[in-house]
Chain A
Amino acid sequence: MVQSKKQKYTFLAFCLVPTFIMFAIFTLYPLFSGLYYSFFDWSGSSSNREFIGFANYIKLFKDTIIPDTIIHDYFLVVTKIIGIMVLAMFFAVALTQLKIKEAPFYRIVFFFPNIMSVVVIGILWTFIYNPSLGLVNSGLEFLGLEEWVKPWLGDEKWALPSIILPAVWAGIGLFMLMLMGGIANISKSYYEAARIDGASEWQQFWKITLPLVWPQVKVSILYIVITTLNGSFILVQVMTGGGPNNSTHVMGSYLYQQAFKQYNFGYGATIGVMILVLSLITVLFFQFLMRREKVEY
């Protein structure tokens, strides 16, 4: 039976309208109300609010903590991209190319952190970093490296780098699986041909594997950028609360502090707008940076 145009559109509407309504309620509405509240002086805990125009934005530019939070966020973005991509690529190649018998076991082990809630990961690592009872310090003492022992999360210099480890650890599994999927799709004949031509393992990796999984790498990097800018606040909030002395505050945790602890909800919304703008710019920048002709052999 040939569908009439009307039938076709009705069917399309049936599929799209509910989704759009959901999208409007849960994404567009909060987005625009966030933008709207950023023009108000509002405590966030009563119905009183006062329109103050761009005052919150002026405050944003004058706030000396904001530049630090941005730097911390991008520090996390860069280190996470490098840490996760290098390790995920390494494990993906190792598990697919090296014909290890226990590969399925490792696949599960590496993926394990992904099924844990980030909050649980944060709490777990807080215990690992605990100054007196934690694994890290006990391990260092056991190895005779007492001078390296420090209150990792309580040290203004070391707190932020300490947060990277759990962030990378928790991220490897998912991207490893994505890359493994990409590698599995590469035809074995390319490698055979390369071997016959005398290419080393390294050359095979650089000339065959990497170019052919580039789409996956690109998606992974963008995904890490977005989740870090939007979600790094969970680990920070659980592990350090932004301290000591703002040394680990990221934009998200600072937003939370302003909106819910200092009762400056309007200002918090302004920080939210800033996060949105910066995320957009960053994603566009990375898209531009990683544009590359699709490779096909």
Chain B
Amino acid sequence: MRVKRRLLLMLMMAFLMAFTVACSDDDDDSSSNVGTDGEIAGDLEIQYFVGGYGDSWWKEVIADFKEAYPDVNIIEHAGPNINEEMRSRWVSNDPPDVVYIDGAGSSETQMVEDGQLMDLTDWLAGIDLEGGDKLADSFIVKPANYDGKIYSLPLVFDTWGTWYDKALFEGNGYTIPTNFDEFMESMSEIKAGEGIDPFVTTGQHPYYFLRGMLYPAFAAAGGEELLADVITGKEGAWSSEQVLDIMTRVEKMVDEGMFDSGLGALNHTQSQMNFLLHENAFIPVGFWLPNEMKNDIPDGFDFGFIPSPMNAAGETYAIVPDLRPLAIAEEAENPDAAKAFVEFVFTREYASSFSGHTGAIMNLNGVDLSQNEDVPVYLTEANAMINDPAVVQIYEKPHPMSADLETPIGNALISLMLGNMTAEEFIAEAEKAAGEYRAGLE
């Protein structure tokens, strides 16, 4: 009797133990971060999102780093859902050491607000590139500035723009537009010539249109000031004359049937597939488009990239870079190795190989892409165009728009694109959303 009861108790204890063990963290990492001779050593955890750029560049860099620092044991956390998968680690204050911030479920602004990233301001000032240039002076676009402090280093320089098929355009003599009037003209030609709705974007993610078409338009019309006001939801920015003017252009596109009639239902891959199948002729996406769709590109398709032609006649093309930063966690367990890795990555050599691997540009200036055979043609052309201020103006945004503002504005935007709202109604909705966003910040 006694024995039986004891057995039962033990069984239950074992059951409970199994639970506790399963639920506990394995944070009893006792390995030292510093090797015997003071070298950088120990475990280094790197979290990186794998999306349109693929992961081949990361594999190369990490392999090289291992060779240079044999005492460091790199643990990679990578994949298309890595931001979701690592969330519990961040919540429990046990983050990886280095994080590349990109993809769904990640937000640099949110991480800075939550104090999860290390202040790199002083450290950055002491870093030199291989040629002796200061790293801090060698970025194409400067790191995001949060009240004078730098928490992340922009690694990938990407930009939204408008894609078209060069082969189609050259074969049929369609105009490649440089401003909105030409854009409308070109779309009318295509509508008549091909019998298709010329413009497509994803209706499920209206921010593609917002970031890809509207940001450049705002920048071209009102410079970085208007862009910043719109992104931060400043009072009166969305209802300003300049914004109304641009939204009227969108309404004009709707009225003349330039948008794909089914775009409301399309997710981003479906819209990109439509574009590749010549169901449409223009699509706003970033540099990652060819790499993301590389398995579905029809024969003879030739990617052409222009800054989104939403600018009025007389204004130059505008692009608003979209940066993907690399950062070190505030709670990093091996900050020395993390810093060594970040310093290791930012070289012009890796910048050149980055373009070959991903079809995008790394955020370092003075990189000669024309010498690298792996770099796709559209990128060298786009790179040359972006570096010619007579053709393209670069406008920097202060930081990405908060999801709390972008979501309601995106919702109103899709209504406008579907023709269920006028430009005036959109502006009223957007101004209201900005008001609510500002109220939420207080």
Contact = CB atoms under 8 A, between A and B. Distances in A.
A18 interface: yes
B388 interface: no
Contact of B263 (A25, A151, A240, A260): A151
Given A14-B8, A262-B403, A245 B262 contact: no
B107 A263 contact: yes
A241 B262 contact: no
A132 interface: yes
Nearest to A246: B411
B87 interface: yes
A151 B259 CA distance: 13
Nearest to A157: B420
Given A18-B12, A45-B87, A261-B403, A243 B264 contact: yes
Given A132-B274, A243-B204, A48 B279 contact: no
B110 interface: yes
B105 interface: yes
B248 interface: no
B239 interface: no
B113 interface: yes
Contacts of B87: 44-45
A13 B407 CA distance: 51
A43 B16 contact: no
A233 interface: no
Contacts of B93: 47
Interface in A212-261: 240-241, 243-246, 257, 260-261
Interface string A32-47: 0000000000011111
A48 B115 contact: yes
Q: Is the interface of B mostly helix, strand, loop or mixed?
A: helix
Interface in A1-46: 10, 13-14, 17-18, 21, 25, 43-46
Contacts of B318: none
B368 interface: no
Interface residues of B, number: 45
A45 B110 contact: yes
B65 to A, nearest CB: 27
Nearest to A137: B262
Contacts of A154: 203, 262-266, 418
A91 interface: no
B111 interface: yes
Contacts of A85: none
B116 A46 contact: yes
A156 interface: yes
Nearest to A7: B1
Given A43-B110, A240-B204, A263-B110, A130 B265 contact: yes
B418 A156 contact: yes
Contact of A151 (B15, B110, B264, B404): B264
Interface string B105-122: 101001101111000000
A183 B162 CA distance: 62
Nearest to A156: B420
Interface string B242-286: 000000000000000000111111110010001000010000000
B434 to A, nearest CB: 15
A47 B15 contact: no
A43 B404 CA distance: 12
B264 A153 contact: yes
A244 B12 contact: no
Contact of A46 (B91, B412, B418): B91
Interface residues of A, number: 37
Contact of B111 (A14, A45, A131, A156): A45
A45 B415 contact: no
Contact of A10 (B8, B16, B263): B8
Contacts of B16: 21
Interface centre among B110, B264, B274, B403 (most CB of A within 10 A): B264
B169 interface: no
Interface in B41-96: 84, 87, 90-93
Contacts of A175: none
A14 B420 CA distance: 62
Interface in A64-100: none
B415 A156 contact: yes
Contacts of B263: 151, 154
B414 A244 contact: yes
A52 to B, nearest CB: 12
B19 interface: yes
Contacts of B407: 257, 261-262
B294 interface: no
Interface in B362-396: none
A129 B91 contact: no
A201 interface: no
Contacts of A43: 110, 113-114
A10 B3 CA distance: 13
A264 interface: yes
A244 B91 contact: no
Given A151-B261, A243-B204, A263-B107, A46 B411 contact: no
A246 to B, nearest CB: 6
B265 A131 contact: yes
A290 to B, nearest CB: 37
Contacts of A264: 404
A155 interface: yes
A152 interface: yes
B131 to A, nearest CB: 38
Nearest to B116: A46
A49 to B, nearest CB: 10
A90 to B, nearest CB: 31
Given A18-B15, A46-B116, A151-B261, A260 B203 contact: no
Given A46-B115, A154-B265, A240-B204, 11 more contacts: A10-B8, A45-B107, A47-B91, A132-B262, A151-B264, A153-B264, A153-B265, A154-B418, A245-B415, A245-B418, A262-B407
Interface of B: 4-5, 8, 12, 15-16, 19, 84, 87, 90-93, 105, 107, 110-111, 113-116, 203-206, 260-267, 270, 274, 279, 403-404, 407, 411-412, 414-415, 418, 420
21 contacts: A10-B4, A13-B8, A14-B8, A21-B19, A43-B113, A44-B91, A45-B87, A45-B107, A45-B111, A46-B111, A46-B116, A48-B114, A154-B262, A154-B264, A156-B420, A159-B264, A159-B265, A244-B415, A245-B414, A262-B404, A263-B107
Please name the 8 residue pairs, one residue from A and one from B, whose CB atoms are nearest each other, closest first. A154-B264, A131-B262, A154-B265, A46-B114, A151-B262, A153-B265, A262-B403, A245-B415
